[in-house]
Chains A and B, each alone.
Chain A
Amino acid sequence: MSLAPPLHPAATADAARAAAPAQAAGFWQTPWRMPQALTVVVAAVGIGMIVQASRPAVEVALPPPPWNWIGVFAPLVLLLGAGRLWPANGLLASLGGIPLAIVSVLAMALIVLPAAIWPQGADAPEWLHPFGFDHVFSSFPLAAATALVLINLAVSSGRRLQSLRAPDVRYQLVHVGLLLAIGSAAAGTASLQRVQIPLVAGGAAAAEGIRGGATIPLPFDVRLDRFDMTNFAPTLAHAVRPAGAPDADYTITAGSTLLAAGATDTIGGYHVRVAEYLPRAAVLAGKAVPFDHPGTGPAALVEVAAPRGETIGSGWLHAETEWGGELFLRLPDESVLLLARPKPRSFHSDITLTAAGRTRSARVGVNERVRVAGWSLYQLSYDEAAGDASRLSVLEAVRDPAYPFVALGAWLCIAGCIWSIASAAQSAPSRLSRPEGRP
């Protein structure tokens, strides 16, 4: 009994390949097998490497609109149509076949592998610079491999546009979805605009953004009314410091957020009692004093005892702010007890937008973008040193005409993947045969 499911995509593709009549003789007999596909991919990537080696610092860039769209999608649509019209053609069967798919994807993976290990750009090791491996994601070798993947997707999708059987529709959802998403994202790099907008609360409205040191006019005004930030409760933490390392170099091992006068906890094996807690404090002469002001942080006076109960000492703990340096307790085993700086829970900017004569208020936060005049506004950063006292907010405005197509392709692929998972589960044989020795 065959244990391979009947609708395995690779098995189906093998059958399709077998059905395509062999054409040409010798090494280049179509449809291609692995050696031929490998030769084509190596040749394409090799040409890319030669081009890159002749101009190491040059990055691949598409022409401006509309030529980016035409340059990417015209050939792909033609190939998809050709695959639909001549599915048995040897060359098209090769271009849309499994061997080319596997080799071209693996070629992409091998090309980007150095970037998975070492940093890119200015921080890249010197030996990565030849052939563009210091900026591999905009290099000619990767562009060549990606082009082959897109060609393969287009032709294979066209060849399967023969019927509306469930497996073929499922195939199209995944592969056409990927083709649309990847192709649109690639083409969209030439029409993508991204600028940063630094704003000060209560300051003037900005009608320009900054990109690469140049100011870019925007079709809207944005004014920062208020920057708001909430923090998590501070953490009383036990930390270890490697021998000989500077005081600032330590690793948190355990923590507690029980911070109130009288609270007790066991942290890192030590018994800790909070004798006094100040939600907002400044540091004077090595001691924390109450000081309710934006930008201040909490402080705690703690009493520490060893695991067996003997008193070790007491002292103030305070995380560094602009209103006082760090206060911590050094413990007998060279570990430390400290008050970690409260982490941000959320931060967002309340803004006023004016576009096309209309004014409205909006809130921009992380995971809360705002759309205006064809642009999307994102919360990029703030004055981290000032913390919740920050009056500076940096927004990023992005205009990406390709996004609707990328999203459409992604959702088509998502639908196909969910269907594939359900189909795999349903089509699995209800009982496996027992290979030798299997229970």
Chain B
Amino acid sequence: MNVLIPSALWATAGLWSAGALLGAGEWRGGAAAPAFARASRLLALAGLVILAVLIAALWTNLGRAPLRTLGETRLWYALLLPAIALTLEWHLKTTALRLPMLVLGLVFVSINIARPDALDRTLMPALRSTWFVPHVVVYISAYACLGLAFAFSSATLLRHAVRRTTPAPGDVALPALLARIGVPFLTLGLLFGALWAKEAWGHYWTWDPKETWAFLTWGAYLGILHGATPARLSPRATLGLYTAAFAVVLGCWFLVNYLPAAHVSVHTYAMPPAGSP
């Protein structure tokens, strides 16, 4: 595994870097655009397959679901990003998500290359539950949808800024669709966690810092989902909200582990604390 993991990550990074370059070429248009599109799609798919195989291998090697550490959740995120984006690409007959997806996926794969996890087969008793996998996978699926909304919105705003044009109403259709899928996933994650906590500890909700951040994330996107209509907000404002709101997702996923309240949280990810594995 010490060779397989970095090899798979570097291979994915290479494939997606090439895919992103081809995707950028596709965006520029021209006669070669369709060929660039096909190649970019194949490279995205190849990276997805590599990550799926890697996660399966990890699951087998560790003897537990690889969902415990920050690095492991980043892997799943990098897997679900293309899974969702390519599914929507096929269903909606659009390639608009692919370049943002590749760039965002590349970021997360690169973080895992730069900060590799120490392999650890242990799984604390609190996580040995049938709720563990559904709860975390549903949450990462939500983060993937909202991350794609962020990536697409920020790319669209940047493109219009460079071209000095105004975002059109059609520009918000994709992020809105992603939010309509992502927010229910967020809600499912909250509810799964509450039911699990009641079964494990007798409390459905304790306002643990992680739970509080989960509520903040849910509240932020709930507000956008209900309030970002054409009657209330311009396309630019809506895209700006989808871009800015992803900061709350990152706060819930990563930042919470470093805040002063983290030491009272039972949800902080398994980063090796000082003095113990």
* Residues of A in contact with B (beta carbons under 8 Å apart): 2-5, 8-11, 13-14, 34, 98, 101-102, 105-106, 108-109, 112-113, 115-120, 123, 137, 174, 181, 185, 194, 232-233, 235, 237, 248-255, 257, 340-341, 343-347, 365-367, 369, 376, 378, 396, 398, 400, 403, 406-407, 410, 413-414, 417-418, 420-421, 424-425, 428-439
Contact in complex: A437, B229 (CB < 8 Å): no
Tell which of A105, A254, A424 touches B177, judged by Cβ atoms closer than 8 Å: A424
Q: Which residues of B contact A34 (CB under 8 A)?
A: 232
Q: Which residues of A contact B202 (CB under 8 A)?
A: 194, 369, 376, 378, 396, 398, 400
Contact in complex: A106, B275 (CB < 8 Å): no
Contact in complex: A109, B216 (CB < 8 Å): yes
Contact in complex: A369, B199 (CB < 8 Å): yes
Q: Which of B176, B202, B219 has the most CB of A within 10 A?
A: B202
* Residues of B in contact with A (beta carbons under 8 Å apart): 26-27, 29, 33, 37, 88, 91-96, 118-126, 128-129, 159, 163, 165, 168-174, 176-177, 180-181, 184-185, 187-188, 191-192, 194-195, 198-202, 204-205, 207, 209, 212-213, 215-216, 219-220, 222-223, 225-232, 251, 256, 259-261, 263-264, 272-277
Known contacts A8-B180, A424-B180; A116/B124 CB under 8 A: no
**Nearest-neighbor residue (CB-CB) of A423 within chain B:** B180
Distance from B215 Cβ to chain A, minimum over Cβ atoms (Å): 7
Contact in complex: B126, A366 (CB < 8 Å): yes
Q: Which residues of A contact B232 (CB under 8 A)?
A: 34
Contact in complex: B201, A10 (CB < 8 Å): no
Contact in complex: A10, B226 (CB < 8 Å): yes
A255 to B230, CA, bound (A): 54
**Nearest-neighbor residue (CB-CB) of A399 within chain B:** B202
Tell which of B176, B212, B272 touches A8, judged by Cβ atoms closer than 8 Å: B176
Q: Which of B96, B191, B260, B275 has the most CB of A within 10 A?
A: B275
**Nearest-neighbor residue (CB-CB) of B235 within chain A:** A435
Contact in complex: A108, B219 (CB < 8 Å): yes
Known contacts A369-B199, A417-B187; A112/B128 CB under 8 A: no
Distance from A423 Cβ to chain B, minimum over Cβ atoms (Å): 8
Distance from B244 Cβ to chain A, minimum over Cβ atoms (Å): 14
Distance from B181 Cβ to chain A, minimum over Cβ atoms (Å): 5
Contact in complex: B125, A344 (CB < 8 Å): yes
Given contacts A120-B207, A435-B168, A435-B171, 18 further A-B contacts (CB under 8 A): A2-B169, A4-B169, A4-B173, A14-B231, A174-B187, A252-B118, A346-B125, A410-B191, A410-B194, A414-B192, A421-B185, A425-B181, A429-B92, A431-B92, A431-B94, A432-B96, A434-B170, A439-B95
A414 to B195, CA, bound (A): 11
Tell which of B88, B128, B216, B228 touches A346, judged by Cβ atoms closer than 8 Å: B128
Contact in complex: B212, A185 (CB < 8 Å): no
A126 to B77, CA, bound (A): 39
**Nearest-neighbor residue (CB-CB) of A99 within chain B:** B227
Q: Which residues of B contact A2 (CB under 8 A)?
A: 169
Q: Which residues of A contact B93 (CB under 8 A)?
A: 430-432
Q: Which residues of A contact B194 (CB under 8 A)?
A: 406, 410
Distance from B4 Cβ to chain A, minimum over Cβ atoms (Å): 15
**Nearest-neighbor residue (CB-CB) of A426 within chain B:** B91
A366 to B196, CA, bound (A): 11
Tell which of B33, B119, B204, B212 touches A255, judged by Cβ atoms closer than 8 Å: B119
Q: Which residues of B contact A109 (CB under 8 A)?
A: 215-216, 219-220
A175 to B162, CA, bound (A): 42
Contact in complex: A343, B277 (CB < 8 Å): yes
Contact in complex: B26, A367 (CB < 8 Å): no
Known contacts A436-B165, A439-B33; A413/B171 CB under 8 A: no
Please provide the 10 A-B residue pairs with the shortest distance between their CB atoms, ordered closest to farther.
Answer: A3-B173, A398-B202, A417-B184, A109-B219, A340-B277, A252-B272, A366-B125, A424-B180, A435-B170, A116-B212
**Nearest-neighbor residue (CB-CB) of A238 within chain B:** B118
Q: Which of A98, A102, A413 has the most CB of B within 10 A?
A: A102
Q: Which residues of A contact B231 (CB under 8 A)?
A: 14
Distance from A262 Cβ to chain B, minimum over Cβ atoms (Å): 20
Contact in complex: A13, B226 (CB < 8 Å): yes
Contact in complex: A14, B122 (CB < 8 Å): no
Contact in complex: A403, B198 (CB < 8 Å): yes
Contact in complex: A439, B184 (CB < 8 Å): no
Q: Which residues of B contact A185 (CB under 8 A)?
A: 204-205
Q: Which residues of B contact A3 (CB under 8 A)?
A: 169-170, 172-173
21 A-B pairs in the complex with CB atoms less than 8 angstroms apart: A3-B173, A10-B227, A11-B229, A98-B226, A102-B227, A109-B216, A116-B216, A137-B207, A181-B191, A194-B202, A367-B126, A369-B200, A396-B201, A410-B195, A417-B185, A421-B181, A429-B92, A432-B96, A437-B159, A439-B26, A439-B29
